[in-house]
Structure 1
Amino acid sequence: MNMELFKRNSTSLAATLNNSERAKGCIAYDPLALEPTYGYDPSLAPGIVFTVVFFLSMAAHVFQTIQSRKWWYSAFALGALGEAIGWAGRAGAHHCPYSKTLFSLQISILIISPCFFSAGIYYILGQMINQHGRKYSPVTPTTYLYTFISFDVLSIIIQAVGGGMASSAGGKSPPGNTKPGTHVMMAGIIIQLISMSVFGMLWLIFLWRARSERLSWTLVLATTFSAFCIIVRNFYRAIELSQGWKGYLITHEVYFAVLDGALMTLAVAVFNIFFPARFLSGEPEDEKMNFSSPGELSQEGLEPKAT
């Protein structure tokens, strides 16, 4: 790598470099040069704010997961970590908007991270089915969980491959054809969107059938809200990519900050406030022992006292 590129900070020089040269180093934004792949100079403030917010959410989820010893909920921490890294990449891109490395980092990680939030939500429904009864769900918790997690993993792989293809093509000079990679990324997002939509239907079926049970409606509302945020975000990303890399949505940062960054903040932070392990035991309700009246047990603690 030509280290001289990192020493160039004059905006007049950026215009003299080709796309490939700018992509290799940290070159400041220059309105006289070609637009960065983003279509704008990424703002520093949103990058810093979302990096800090997601990092704090991740730290809180790590603490809550360790405290509860419910390791599946670490999926929320992993997703928040990915979001923090992706937004840190966007913060760095404010100073290096032509960097291919930073662009590839943020586009790939930010498009994948919500899959971990989805995985955590899938687990919540599985736990609720376990706790309140298989009769309320069209499928078993195990089948349900492994099926949706498999689609999540497939979505992650497809989106990562597509993101790599698109960013590689966009970093060439002259820029290559990014459409194949874009279409692959769209396929991954659509799979995730379909998966979350099917989840939504199963979620509603479970809630309707179990409406007579003592459900934790606080957790129900929190989970519904988080799932809604993810679905809206996926619709946005699908429409964004369908317009191409020079489309209206992708070249206007405010939409990305609100419909991706803000929505994903809400989707994961709601579970910091209403951590699922506080509302779920995962044990069937009819198998739980009630120790609220110790006097009802014999001294040996094994047989009920005769009345």
Structure 2
Amino acid sequence: MGDRPPPQGYIDPNFPNPGTDGDATIIIYGYTPSIVVGVLGCVLFLVALIAHLFQLLKYRSWYFSTMIVGIAFEIVGYAFRCLSAKVSPYRVNFFVIQYFFIVVAPVFFAAAIYTVLSILINSTGRQYAPLAPKLILWIFITCDVVATIVQIAGAALIGIAYSNRKDPTTPNNILLGGLAFQAFSVLVFIILFASFMWKARRVLLKVVSKGFYFAFILSVIMIYLRVCFRLAETAEGLMENLSTHEVYFGTLEFMPVVIAVWLLAIWHPGRCVPKVAVRDVEGEFDGY
């Protein structure tokens, strides 16, 4: 034990390390998570879950059900951040579980966005879109799933490395690779999305309300902002500025996702998107 190097990273002087099995020698977050952020996350996403679930059932917008799954994941993730804040910030499984659920949740939000875009393309005409609706759905969902699997593997390996006092550089590079791939695939989607929303704007504004049109655009921007933050944070390196100050997490991970989820609750596609377009796209996907 005496020849082991001292722990490199953040140790909370006001929160002694229990030193039990499953505890890292340092706080992997780079800070002690705030209970306020954890509770706010649980409350805001729980209320959003109720709002989305009510409208999902009322308007029978089953194509948008992945939003429910994503919001539920966010609630679990922030619940484990609460455990880190109040029970032990050194507990590796708390860190990995909260990271898993908070990172995976936007994949379900993205799937819902891809589906809505496919429906909008169908409602305005294929001539405004560079790709067929079903291709947009399956290409970008596949990209998100692959990217997320790589990210989760990297995060888990980082936790194991810190727990065993080993160099976490390789796991961080794995995480970075997954984030870089996701950022690239979402950027391609943003380009296709922007092209369609601009070319079809006159037709779209006759099909959906102006409020929904701009809320949908802003929600996509918020999700991409969150992806860019995660990429920048990981590229900067472990225990650097972005990853060791919770204010960045709060303003560039937590806040953008909350805004996106609430925008799509206020201007819910089940209420704002024409039912005829929805039926046509659902039929097309069923036959794919």
TM over 0.5: yes
Shift of 1:218: 2.0
Q: In the alignment, what sits opposite 1:293?
A: none
CA distance in structure 2 between the partners assigned to 1:38 and 1:275 by the alignment: 34
Q: Confirm or deny: 8 A CA contact 2:207 2:273 kept in the other structure.
A: no
CA distance in structure 1 between the partners assigned to 2:239 and 2:145 by the alignment: 29
Question: 2:193 matched to 1:203?
Answer: yes
Question: Which of 68, 75, 92 is the matching residue for 2:83?
Answer: 92
CA distance in structure 2 between the partners assigned to 1:247 and 1:13 by the alignment: 21
Amino acid at match of 2:22: K
CA distance in structure 1 between the partners assigned to 2:220 and 2:21 by the alignment: 37
CA distance in structure 2 between the partners assigned to 1:282 and 1:218 by the alignment: 18
CA distance in structure 2 between the partners assigned to 1:259 and 1:13 by the alignment: 26
SS at match of 1:250: helix
**CA deviation string 1:79-116 (max 9, x = no partner):** 11111111111111112111111011112221221111
Question: Which of 267, 278, 287 is the matching residue for 1:274?
Answer: 267
Q: Confirm or deny: 8 A CA contact 2:120 2:277 kept in the other structure.
A: no
Q: Confirm or deny: 8 A CA contact 1:169 1:178 kept in the other structure.
A: yes
Greater CA radius of gyration, 1 or 2? 1
Shift of 1:167: 1.3
Q: Give 4+ residue runs of structure 1 displaced > 3 Å after superposition.
A: 11-15
Gaps of 5+ in 2: 1-12, 281-288
Q: In the alignment, what sits opposite 1:42?
A: 33
Amino acid at match of 1:237: R
Question: Which of 254, 263, 271 is the matching residue for 2:256?
Answer: 263
- Check 1:184–1:215 CA distance in 2 against 1; reply closer, same or farther (3 A cut): farther
Question: Which of 229, 241, 253 is the matching residue for 1:236?
Answer: 229
Amino acid at match of 1:176: K
Question: 2:218 matched to 1:225?
Answer: yes
Q: In the alignment, what sits opposite 1:4?
A: none
TM-score, structure 2 as length reference = 0.84
Amino acid at match of 1:80: I
Amino acid at match of 2:192: L
Q: Confirm or deny: 8 A CA contact 2:96 2:156 kept in the other structure.
A: yes
CA distance in structure 1 between the partners assigned to 2:223 and 2:202 by the alignment: 28
CA distance in structure 2 between the partners assigned to 1:141 and 1:112 by the alignment: 23
TM-score, structure 1 as length reference = 0.79
Q: Confirm or deny: 8 A CA contact 1:47 1:87 kept in the other structure.
A: yes
Q: In the alignment, what sits opposite 1:24?
A: 22
Gaps of 5+ in 1: 1-10, 28-33, 288-307
- Higher relative contact order, chain-length normalized (CA < 8 Å, sep 6+): 2
Amino acid at match of 1:243: E
Q: Confirm or deny: 8 A CA contact 2:207 2:274 kept in the other structure.
A: no
Please report the RMSD computed on the Cα atoms of aligned residues, expressed in angstroms: 2.3
- Check 1:221–1:23 CA distance in 2 against 1; reply closer, same or farther (3 A cut): farther
Amino acid at match of 1:131: S
- Check 1:271–1:211 CA distance in 2 against 1; reply closer, same or farther (3 A cut): closer
Q: In the alignment, what sits opposite 2:168?
A: 178
Amino acid at match of 2:48: S
Q: Confirm or deny: 8 A CA contact 2:42 2:78 kept in the other structure.
A: yes
Question: 2:145 matched to 1:147?
Answer: no
- Check 1:208–1:168 CA distance in 2 against 1; reply closer, same or farther (3 A cut): same
Q: Confirm or deny: 8 A CA contact 1:72 1:120 kept in the other structure.
A: yes
Question: Which of 107, 120, 125 is the matching residue for 2:112?
Answer: 120
Q: In the alignment, what sits opposite 1:158?
A: 150
Q: In the alignment, what sits opposite 2:52?
A: 61
More helix by share: 2
- Check 1:268–1:22 CA distance in 2 against 1; reply closer, same or farther (3 A cut): same
The count of aligned residue pairs is 263
